[in-house]
Amino acid sequence: PFLGICFGAQLATVAFAREVMGWKGANSTEIDASTPWPVVDLLPEQKAIKEVGGTMRLGGHEVILLEGKLRTAYGRDRIVERFRHRYHIIREYAERMEGAGYRVTAVDPSGEIINAFEVEGHPYFVGVQFHPEFKSRPGRPSPTYVSFMEVVKGI
């Protein structure tokens, strides 16, 4: 089982693009600004910012859960999770990868920002842009972690 959080989700997307799609050199522009396949790039509102202190997409934001493991885990289609990022998975590339098993499973209310994905046909391969650890508490772990651990426990 795999659970990628924030940068982990972004790097899993890069790996999928390279290994499954065959997009040699796919990367995040945070790592390689001249990548031929920029599957992860700055959020649109971040592109004009030159002084980056305190400018991330931070705090609680609404997440729309589409059909998938996270929607099952949370038992609803709208949640609020906490974020801390400047870069995101680019929808155009995610849509191109969908035919190969990459499936977007959560977005922001505009539908433009990808907040989670999973890989079809895998027992548990989930990437989330949000930080479920920020809302987990002793005795009340995030449903993201609970669903992941249930799969791990069953192996």
Structure tokens at 75: 């038992």
Contact criterion met (CB below 8 Å) for 93 and 37? yes
Do the Cβ atoms of 117 and 103 come closer than 8 Å? yes
Task: Round to whole Å and give the CA distance between 90 and 104.
Answer: 11
Residue 88, CA distances (Å) to 27, 40, 42, 106 in order: 12, 5, 6, 13
The 27-28 sheet, strands edge to edge: 27-28, 38-42, 87-89
pLDDT recorded at residue 83:
80
The pLDDT score that the predictor gives to residue 70 is 97
Judge whether 133 counts as a catalytic residue.
yes
Helix, coil or strand: residue 104: strand
Number of structural domains in the chain: 1
Is 84's pLDDT higher than 90? no
- pLDDT per residue as tens digits for the range 49-83: 666 666 666 667 899 999 999 999 999 999 998 88
Domain of residue 136, residue span: 2-153
Known catalytic residue at 131: yes
How far, in Å, are 19, 103, 115, 120, 151 from residue 145 at the CA level? 26, 19, 16, 19, 10
CA angle 29, 56, 61 (to 5 degrees): 110
Mean confidence (pLDDT) of the chain: 92
Based on the residue annotation, tell me whether 85 is a catalytic residue of this protein.
Answer: no
pLDDT band with cut points at 50, 70 and 90 for residue 86: confident
CATH code at position 29: 3.40.50.880
Single out the catalytic residue among 6, 51, 67, 85. Answer: 6
Catalytic residue among 19, 45, 67, 133: 133
Residues 97-149: tens digit of each pLDDT: 999 999 999 999 999 999 999 999 999 999 999 999 988 899 999 999 999 99
Q: What is the pLDDT of residue 143?
A: 96
* The predicted structure's pLDDT at residue 100: 98
Residues 18-54 pLDDT 10s: 999 999 999 999 999 999 999 999 876 666 666 666 6
pLDDT score of 47: 66
